Structure 1
Amino acid sequence: MSKVPEWFLQELRQKVDIVDVVSDYVQLRRSGRSYSGLCPFHNERTPSFSVSQDRGMYHCFGCGAGGTVINFVMDIEGVSFQEAVIVLAERAGLTVPEGLGAGATQPNTKQQRHREAHDLAAQLYGYILMNMSAGVQALSYLEKRGISRKTIVDFRLGFAPNSQDVLVSALRRRGFQDEELVSCGLAVEMGNRIVDRFRGRIMIPICDKKGEVVAFGGRTMLPDGKPKYLNSPENDVFHKSRLLYNFHAARKFIRQQRTAILLEGYMDVISLAQAGISSGVASLGTSLTEEQAKLLKADADRVVIAYDGDAAGRKAAIRAIDILQGAGIDPVVLSIPDDLDPDEYVRTYGGEAFTRLLGRQTMSVVQFLLDDLRQTANLVSPVGRTDFVRSALQLLAQRATPVEQEYELRNLSQEFNLSVETLKEELRVFTKQNKRHREQSVERTAQSIAAQPLERAVSRASTELLKAVLFDEQAAAYVMEKGLTELAEPLQTALLAQLYAWRLANPTSDPSTFVDELEDEPLVQLASSLFFGDDIPEFSQDLLDDYVRTVERHHLEEDYRVLLRRWIEVEASGDTERAREIKLQVEQLQDQIATLKLPREQNAGGVKEAGM
């Protein structure tokens, strides 16, 4: 996976405490010999995320994420193996081996060229805005909107003039080829030549999590210009569904407060930051995505949705609520008075007023959804009022806590002159319906799990054999000598093959080095799970023989079932000769299965767990 010397990785593992690293992102509590917390990679309310300080590993028993501290930094920060090594080395005060730094900052030449081109473009656009006559109108526009020159510099704002090739010409002089400029989205083809993609627009750099410019948002200067905002196209470096505008700068403030402010537009973020509210981020011209919610989940427990109050903004807020709750984040919705957007409100009343607004005008999800129902309800007619009350009660049954239900029922009672008891009775009907739907869903899930053919015994035996090969050099040699090549599941079999190759090449290496060498994410997850659970036992030959017999018998029984069905089909067809041949094979398999029966199973009718 990497060109990092093994001696350096060993030193890094000794110097870096995985609990300290993970604690920067996850609130951990000691649980026995390990630490546990809510997984930062998926939505959960009950902790299933474990970190072993002794073994230097993490694993989530909910989503399967796991690996070493290097894997954790790769996953949580979205960086390469070498970049994660450098981050951890800097944290530990270690000097990286010569040549590693350059290799890590340029893991992909094409991607690095993309970043270099965008950084140079940001410099050029910024210079034009602040120092050239072509940028005077754009600079005046920003200042009229209350954006200070310091903020312009902080956010690296710029201006792309109407000239068709000012950027193309500049980057050609810096050695960039035309095809590079087109592929990274800074230029477009026009007939036989290429021209600047962005022209006559205020340029807003979009940065990745490390703060490097990877794209732009361009705002038109024309009153009727279309589109109002033009974003860079997606490519190898820029995926708008995976980034949030200003996340790199806002992250430390979000982490301090465990709260983020989710805004609709670039100018909302910039205005709030200038007013001293630094935890604002925005999605990039699209609705909030699951990937963006996962970014926030690592640092925030709560997100204030501060979208525009129009119909489109309310619709986007509802979508964001579902996505944030799906990621395990508690959303609230800010109600901004006078139909103003956040940028307009801050420019009109100031940052302190907006901060007070955050404390006074936030609504819970239930309050916001009830308010949204009210926006479209026909409260003039009796039928419309009845429909609204029923919809409100259904909403309370689905999403409200008992305290919220009590509070809102009293409000509904006063508004519509209905008794609280009548409303509660109707609410109970909806609650029962919801409970029945949930129970049916749970039952279907349970039936699905029960229908899985894999037996506990062979699953346990396969897992223990993987542990034996991973943690015990002598046990690994014995299992390889037995010639076992297939376990219960394809993924386990694939990991076993990788373990064999690793053991032969590294007979005395630390098991964590094996995990760092894996490139396939499902294999990393499976391998990391082996480090957790019960203490690693001593693998005697008798115990290993039990496990091997259990696995071999499992495969023979699968073959037996297939052959038995085939025998029945052939006999039914009237082919007595072929049926006799298959019957003989069935009997041979029965004999083989009987020879593999464990001594302690002689008085049992089924397969029991080996080694238990």
Structure 2
Amino acid sequence: MSLPPGFLDELRTRVSLSQVVGRKVVWDQRKSNQGKGDMWAPCPFHHEKSPSFHVDDRKGFYYCFGCHAKGDAISFVKDTENVSFMEAVEILAGEAGMPMPARDPQAREKADKRVQLVEVMEKAVQFYRLQMKTAQANEARDYLARRGLDEAAQDRWQIGFAPKGWQNLWDALIAKGIEPEMILEVGLAKPSKNGKKPYDTFRNRIMFPIRDAQGRAIAFGGRAMDPDDNAKYLNSPETPLFDKGRSLFNFAPAREAAGKGHPLIVAEGYMDVIALSEAGFGAAVAPLGTAVTEDQLRLMWRIADEPIIALDGDTAGLRAAMRVIDVALPVLEAGKGLRFCLMPQGLDPDDVLKNQGVGAMKSLLGTAQPMVELLWQRETEGGVFDSPERRAKLDKSLRAAIAKITDPHIRSHYGAAIKEKRWALFNPRKPGRKWQPKNAPLAAASTTRASQLAQGDSTMDEILREAVILAILLTHPNVIPQFEDALERFEFIDQDHGRIADAVLRHMETDRLYDRVADSVGTAPLEKLFKPRHVSLCPAIRCPGDDEIAALCIAEELSKLHARRGARREIEDAVRDAESVGDEGTTWRLSQAAEARNRAERAQNEDKTEFEVGSNGARISRNERLKLDSLLAQINKDNTTG
């Protein structure tokens, strides 16, 4: 069976050689550099203990310095699985999600024709390069010089010029014996609608060759010299050689540079890529006239785990960045992400390099933000979230964005990161100010320190109840969503309790909540939290598997705390007035406030729970228990009387 042209190239692009080989070997962690795709292991083809088998994941080849075995992913599967070439292709195609093509008797003929089409493109490159040397290209050469590209740089990038006129390239290729159908098939000319000769696709443009992963010319990008031209940049149409959604400008040189440790930078246009590469940032690529596609992302991740999206510092650049987010979210994988570097307002990478230098570009790239930061910026920028409805709308949009992530582990980490940002947005702390709860009790004034109200530690009871609430939440994480809003609004008296509550809210959707909270606040505050006897005797702590008891206990403790704090605030207001005025009216208010506090204390001491916990841990209805006690008492009385 023959395969259609380009199928094997796409298969090799989609498959990671290190993953294929990794199923058969154990990598040497000391010698391997996974970030650069430079992997070493004992050779699977001959018995050895030293890691002489080398995999270059970016180039897609392996070589053993012991037995000299070499090849790509297809040959590795073929030799290790003892299968035929086509069977190896079928195995890898299944892993890559590529359907095997139907039998094509003309496949060999098509492959030969593809070679011929590439030759046509190379002849066009030569034609355009020669035209750059003519008088017609004076303006184009001046433009390139102003952009900082001398003749040597133009030669390195094989930049050419398409002169004015309708059939310059057409006539030149026909004169070399190229068949007209082939010129049309590669998109270098278009048929005339008036029955005349086909006309050149590119006219009066600076020409940039676009090459595939093997360095073969497959298309062109042309920059118009006429400022009134409708299209400033024009790419070749899609052809048997060129699929713009699966190609990147400068891909092959960028892959080599990334293998040497250069960061992969994704710019918007040809000139940005050329400027970056000439300035020493060799691993620079650009999409070809379209927004970044999934296939282009996969190409980038083959050569770098975290490409840096470097976009122009204007509204269009920011919009382009936001579009990349929506494309990337569904295809994120562990260890494969994006970082974003927006240029200063009104500048592109080429401008930054010319105006501010290489050092400024390095500094900008060093500040590149992870994708979650830009996602949060997109959803919150310009928004006002001063009402429950607006906050709910924000939550809905964030949930919808995170839901696009198919990998459950990445989705969980994104949720935790967004939760932390949401908490910081809705619960800001003033900088330079010591953490102090909004409703913390006032210090007793000099005239009242000896009074009954100021005697003893009036907040100890509240601190213990705070500890009970947090301890229950840590041991019953399933009930946290029921009290999330209440916990966000609650002001803790104890500073450690406030930090623990923040950590609980940030990590509520993660596994092993206690360990995550301990990592955030330390183990000492948690040990202190569970130490009081009042906490250890709580029914919910003694019944760790019963979330219903936990929810009831938390609700009761919150209710008592709100009642106590309401009464305390009334007393504090009265104390202030008594110190400043001291008349009979404020004295009466103070007595009323004290009575209100007493009522709150009596209410707290009343046991309003509807259940009790038996010695075996089972819940017992209080009413039923009282009825049973009454019945037993009556039986005992009858027995005594009888």
TM-score, normalised to structure 1's length?
0.51
Displacement of 1:428 in angstroms is: 8.2
Residue 176 of structure 1: aligned partner: 178
CA contact (8 A) 1:166 1:196 kept: yes
In structure 2, the partner of 1:216 is 220
Q: Is it true that 1:366 corresponds to 2:366 in the alignment?
A: no
- Using the TM superposition, name which of 161-170 and 140-149 deviates more: 140-149
Give the Cα separation in 2 of the matches to 1:153 and 1:250: 18
Contact 1:217 1:230 in 2 (8 A): yes
**In 2, distance between residues paired with 1:196 and 1:160?**
9
Q: CA deviation at 1:430?
A: 11
Structure 1 residues 370 and 161: alpha-carbon distance in aligned structure 2, compared to 1, 3 A threshold: same
Equivalent in the alignment of 1:163: 165
Q: Which amino acid aligns with 1:147?
A: L
**Mapped pair 1:125 → 2:128:** yes
Q: Percent identity?
A: 30
Go from structure 1 to structure 2 and tell me whether the alpha carbon gap of 1:411 and 1:362 turns closer, same or farther (over 3 Å shift): farther
Task: Kindly indicate whether residue 310 of structure 2 is the aligned counterpart of residue 296 of structure 1.
Answer: no
Q: Secondary structure at the match of 1:204?
A: strand
CA distance in 2, matches of 1:306, 1:251: 17
Residue equivalent to 2:309: 305
Shift of residue 354, structure 1, vs aligned partner: 0.4
Indicate if the aligned counterparts of 2:301 and 2:307 stay in contact, CA closer than 8 A: no
- Partners in 2 of 1:409 and 1:26 — Cα distance? 40
Output the CA distance in 2 between the equivalents of 1:412 and 1:151.
Answer: 53
Any gaps of 5 or more consecutive residues in structure 1? 4-21, 38-49, 57-67, 86-103, 436-612
What residue in structure 2 maps to residue 145 of structure 1? 147
| Change in 2 beyond 3 A, CA 1:305/1:399 | farther
Match of 2:383 in 1: 377
Match of 2:190 in 1: 188
CA contact (8 A) 1:106 1:112 kept: no
Q: CA deviation at 1:385?
A: 7.0
Contact preservation (8 Å) 2:223, 2:233: yes
Cα distance in 1 for partners of 2:144, 2:310 equals 22
Match of 2:337 among 321, 327, 330: 330
Distance 1:75 1:188, change over 3 A: farther
For the aligned residues, what is the CA RMSD? 4.6
Identify unmatched segments of 5+ residues in structure 2. 4-13, 29-40, 48-68, 78-84, 90-106, 403-410, 432-436, 439-484, 490-499, 512-642
Given that 2:121 and 2:218 are in contact with CA atoms closer than 8 Å, whether structure 1 keeps it comes out as yes
Q: Which structure is higher in RCO with an 8 Å CA cutoff and minimum separation 6?
A: 1
Q: In structure 2, which of residues 108, 111, 117 is the aligned counterpart of residue 114 of structure 1?
A: 117
> 1:422 — aligned with what?
488
Give the C-alpha shift of residue 331 in structure 1: 0.8
- Counterpart AA for 1:263: A
* Secondary structure class of the residue paired with 1:400: helix
Question: Residue 400 of structure 1 is aligned with which of 405, 414, 431?
Answer: 414
1:339 positional shift? 3.4
Comparing 295-304 with 251-260, greater Cα deviation is found at 251-260
How much has 1:180 moved relative to structure 2? 1.4
Q: 3-state SS of the aligned residue for 1:108?
A: helix
What SS is found at the alignment partner of 2:321? helix
Q: How does 1:88-99 map to 2 (within 5 A)?
A: none
Distance 2:503 2:228 in 1: 50
Match of 1:257, SS state, is coil
Change (3 A) 1:393 1:106: closer
Using a 3 Å threshold, how does the CA distance of structure 1 residues 25 and 316 change in structure 2: closer, same or farther? farther
The amino acid across from 1:275 in the alignment is A
Residue 348, structure 1, aligned to residue 355, structure 2: yes
1:278 corresponding residue in structure 2: 282
SS at 2:345's partner residue?
A: helix
Cα distance change on mapping 1:279 and 1:110 into 2, 3 Å: same
Instruction: Say which of 18, 24, 37 aligns to 1:26.
Output: 18
Shift of 1:257: 2.6
Code of the residue aligned with 1:372 in structure 2: it is R
SS of structure 2 residue aligned to 1:302: coil
TM-score of the superposition, structure 2-length normalised? 0.49
SS of 1:308 mapped into structure 2: strand
Deviation of 1:140 after TM superposition, in Å, equals 0.7
Q: How many residues align?
A: 368
Against the structure 1 CA distance between its residues 406 and 2, is the aligned structure 2 distance closer, same or farther, given a 3 Å change threshold? closer
The 1:274–1:71 alpha-carbon spacing in structure 2 relative to 1, beyond 3 Å, is: closer
C-alpha change, 1:172 and 1:286, in structure 2 (3 Å) is: same
Secondary structure of the equivalent of 1:278? coil
1:491 aligned residue: none
In structure 2, the CA distance between the partners of 1:214 and 1:393, relative to structure 1 (3 Å rule), is: closer
> Secondary structure of 1:250's match?
helix
Larger radius of gyration: 2
